[in-house]
Amino acid sequence: MWTRFDWIVRSMRANASSYVFYGFALACSAALYFIFAFLQNEAPAESAAVGGFRSAEVFQAAGILTVLIGGAFVFRANRLFLKRRSREIGLYQLAGLSRLEVARLLLAEQALLGAAALLMGTCAGALASRFFWLLLLKLIDAGREVPLSFSGTAALQTIGVFAGLIVLALVQIGIGILRSPLPRFEAVARSLPAKETEGRAALAGLASAALIAAGYSLADRIARPQGLAILPIVLGAALAGTYLLLRVAIGGLLAYIRSRQNGHLSIAQSLSLAPIMHRMKSTANSLTWITILSALMLTLLALASSLYYSAETESRAMMPDDFVFENMPHQAQAFEARLEQKALVFTHRSVPALRVRGAGDTPQNAGSLLLPAESLVYAGEEAAAWHISGADPGGALPDLPGPGEAFAYRGLERQPLREGRDAGRVWNPLHPGMDTEERAGRGETGLSGGGLRIARSLDRYAVNYSVRGRQFVVRAAGVQELRMQCRNSALCEEVRLDLYRIADPNRRAAASEAYADDGARPGMHPYFVFFYRESLHKFGLLLFIAAFLGFVFLVSTGSLLYLRQMAEADAEKPDYAVLRRLGIDEREMMAGAVRKQLFVFAVPLAIGLLHSIFAVRAASALALSNLFVPAAAALLLYTLTYLSFAALSVRGYRRMIRETAERDMV
Amino acid sequence: MLTVKENVLLPVSLGRMPKAEAEERFRRIAAELELLDLAARYPSELSGGQRQRTSAARALIREPSIVFADEPTGALDSKSASSLLGLMERLNRVQGVTFLMATHDPAVSSYCSRVVFLRDGAIYSEVYKGERSRQAFFKEILNVQAVLGGDHVDTL
């Protein structure tokens, strides 16, 4: 007498190969999620700010992405699972079990599998997160000791989220079994190709083009403030558009081509067109998800690699000077002496700046920092160091603002789309809340007239970001005028800045030692090398995560497509046997099989690439540097991975075709 | 996954037959085997007999010089069976196509010009139709089969 448990174990053993695959994938995504949840909870607050987001948020987003990918995988895998075992389910019913009992049996199996995978995933995640934790600490702040403990929060979070996922999967399977029709023993699939009329297909094509175009144009807004709120809309539009395109429009196109043939299909067509149309519905489902998710992945990867490779440029945009002393002339002199001692070549600018707290300034913001342009200008060889960053890629010297004009250096507030709007506005540092266009209309510029005209708005800093205040570069005369205006009032504050740049980039580290020699004191500003290294490490980690996620995702979608193709090849075996008997040789059959693989892999590749190009374009607003090279590299990798999986499945088809030949000879 | 028409025309796509001629042949054979109304149907929409008629049409469309058939009327009702056999007989008479088929049915074998009886894998006897009518030939086949002892007899 067999117990129920015996049955379960036996049936699991019989399905071992697919269970191992499924369980492994589930465990992997649980482990990945654990790592991200762990980093999200434990990441030190100082490791903040990756492209404007806090690192905890980045890790949270990565975690959510993992769950989405894992969930999509579980859902697809369960559909395949139900299809594959429909025969077995039928047999159980024929053997006298009720549907409910069958459901109980399979659900117990799934629950056991899910629990095992979750346990394994959490353990693997706990082990791996240790490694990631050390890596993170090493990259962000090597010196600090932070005790590592098993993160209960992360474990609970992982178990909670994935238990939810497994329960959803169980519900899906339960419903699937209860709804499954009575056993089908015919090898022939019952489904018929969807019959799309040409009108409907054309309409759907237009609708999908409109949806996708809407998604693309909205995508540009994500980079703007509060833009993340429209992310679901963009994703939804892209999803719906892609699905319509794949399911109805391409399906309709294929049906049209087929009906034009009026029954006279070539061998290649009957081996590619017909089976593709036959499975259009399920193919469209999976291709849609794969397309959208790979576009997301590619964008993330391109963004991360851009951030990493532009770390120096971005750091320069944040910190144009290597060292800054604010109101510390004596320390500056001492530092200078140490630099000379070390025989370092450097430039020094002493800048008499003015910090103004206008009537509209809140206690939270630091007011405006007015910098005299003349003392910031570098001439001759020194000039080469001036515009490294993206604002003027030509390396041209910025011309001085005219009298009554100001250049606004907006730095991190960068809102590329507003650049044009700010330029030409009139602004008065004493009344920053009242910058009205009316004054400009009356032509009243200059401080005595009412304000400075913003001649240019730049998304970088004029002096290091750590110097408080919104930065404006004004003619020295303008600064002087303002200084006179607010003399003896509490509104203005003199700021003496000593700016240092080291000529030889390789000796910056040595100079940093001279800077740190003095020990940390309140009021000391961070220095370039430190900031640059930190951001390099930070973005390096981000790139690592993105590359890791992206690779896992690429390989899993590629293998999902491959497994699907192999399952289809199995189902098509009898057809190939018939063709063989009709005297069709391997070469002709392979032509059809290759065409089918091309379609199955190239269509998601092409649409995914298109999506990614637009997504990267939208994302490039978040990065200062050009995304082209990293994006092109990521797209190339994506293409190559898919092509190799396509080659694998072509090989699988060839093997299957040869098998049919051998079987016939017996 | 192919419609009846696509299935039947499949072997044609191998050669270089002009489309018009292929279409013409399809019409002729499909009319003969009553497949015209089913031309746009998929295999899952067909009965067993309809499938068998489709595969027969597929075998005949290239007008081969010899056809090997294993129980060609196995899943057919008597009406479809006699129309298929009639077609085969006509093809044999008019175009000289040779049919070699295995069957358990004396009525089916009465359409042939020569019948070889097999017993346990060895040839037991053979009869020729000659100038006789099909009815007379059928009787003789039955007689031989009665002597053979029924059960384990194959006629060829």
Q: What tens digit of pLDDT does each residue of B75-100 get?
A: 788 888 888 888 888 888 888 889 99
- What residues contact residue A640 under an 8 Å CB cut-off, 6+ apart? none
- What residues contact residue A122 under an 8 Å CB cut-off, 6+ apart? A30, A31, A34, A155, A158, A159
CA distance B5 to chain A (A): 5
pLDDT digits (tens, 9 = 90+) for A439-463: 444 444 445 555 777 777 777 788 8
pLDDT class for A492, splitting at 50, 70, 90?
Answer: confident
User: Residue A357 burial by CB count (10 A; 0-12/13-18/19+): exposed, middle or buried?
Assistant: buried
Amino acid A588: pLDDT: 86
Sign of CA dihedral A515, A520, A523, A527: positive
CA distance B127 to chain A (A): 31
* Ranges A288-302, A520-534, B30-44, most confident: B30-44
pLDDT, average across residues A151-177: 85
Amino acid A376: pLDDT: 78
CA distance B143 to chain A (A): 36
Helix spans in A220-279 (H): 231-244, 250-261, 267-278
Task: Lowest mean pLDDT of A294-298, A413-417, B61-65, name the range.
Answer: A413-417
pLDDT, average across residues A537-566: 76
User: In this complex, do A263 and B39 lie within 8 Å of one another by their Cβ atoms?
Assistant: yes
- What residues contact residue A50 under an 8 Å CB cut-off, 6+ apart? A58, A307, A538, A539, A542
Amino acid A104: pLDDT: 84
| Spatial contact of A455 and A401, defined as CB atoms under 8 Å apart | yes
CA distance A173 to chain B (A): 26
List the one residue out of A271, A195, A276 whose CA is nearest residue B40: A195
Query: What are the phi and psi torsion angles at A416 (to 5°)?
Result: -50, -35
* Ranges A413-427, A467-481, A555-569, most confident: A467-481
Phi-psi region of A88 (alpha: psi -120 to 50; beta: other; left: phi over 0): alpha
pLDDT more than 90, % of chain B? 10
pLDDT class for B114, splitting at 50, 70, 90?
Answer: very high
How far apart CA A304 and CA A325 sit, in angstroms, is 33
Average pLDDT score, chain B: 84
Comparison of pLDDT for B28 and A56, the residue scoring more: B28
User: Residue A617 burial by CB count (10 A; 0-12/13-18/19+): exposed, middle or buried?
Assistant: middle
pLDDT class for A542, splitting at 50, 70, 90?
Answer: confident
pLDDT class for A519, splitting at 50, 70, 90?
Answer: low
Q: Which residue of B has its CA nearest to A576?
A: B1
What is the pairing mode between strands A470-474 and A368-372? parallel
Comparison of pLDDT for B66 and A395, the residue scoring more: B66
Query: Residues of B with CB below 8 A from A265's CB?
Result: 2, 6, 9-10, 13
User: Residue A197 burial by CB count (10 A; 0-12/13-18/19+): exposed, middle or buried?
Assistant: exposed
Distance of CA B26 to the CA centre of its chain: 17
What would the two tokens of residue A575 be? 């057809």
User: In this complex, do B44 and A191 lie within 8 Å of one another by their Cβ atoms?
Assistant: yes
How far apart CA B22 and CA B62 sit, in angstroms, is 9
Comparison of pLDDT for A424 and A517, the residue scoring more: A517
Matching residue, tokens 């020094």: A348
Task: Lowest mean pLDDT of A342-356, A371-385, A499-513, B137-151, name the range.
Answer: A371-385
User: In this complex, do A263 and B13 lie within 8 Å of one another by their Cβ atoms?
Assistant: no
- Does residue A549 register a pLDDT over 70? yes
Average pLDDT score, chain A: 75
pLDDT digits (tens, 9 = 90+) for A9-31: 777 776 665 677 677 778 878 88
Matching residue, tokens 């206008």: A358
> In A, what residues contact B, Cβ < 8 A?
186, 188-193, 262-267, 270, 274-275, 277-278, 572, 575, 579, 582-584, 588
Amino acid A128: pLDDT: 78
Query: Residues of B with CB below 8 A from A264's CB?
Result: 9, 12-13, 19, 22-23
How far apart CA A361 and CA A490 sit, in angstroms, is 13
- Does residue A387 register a pLDDT over 50? no
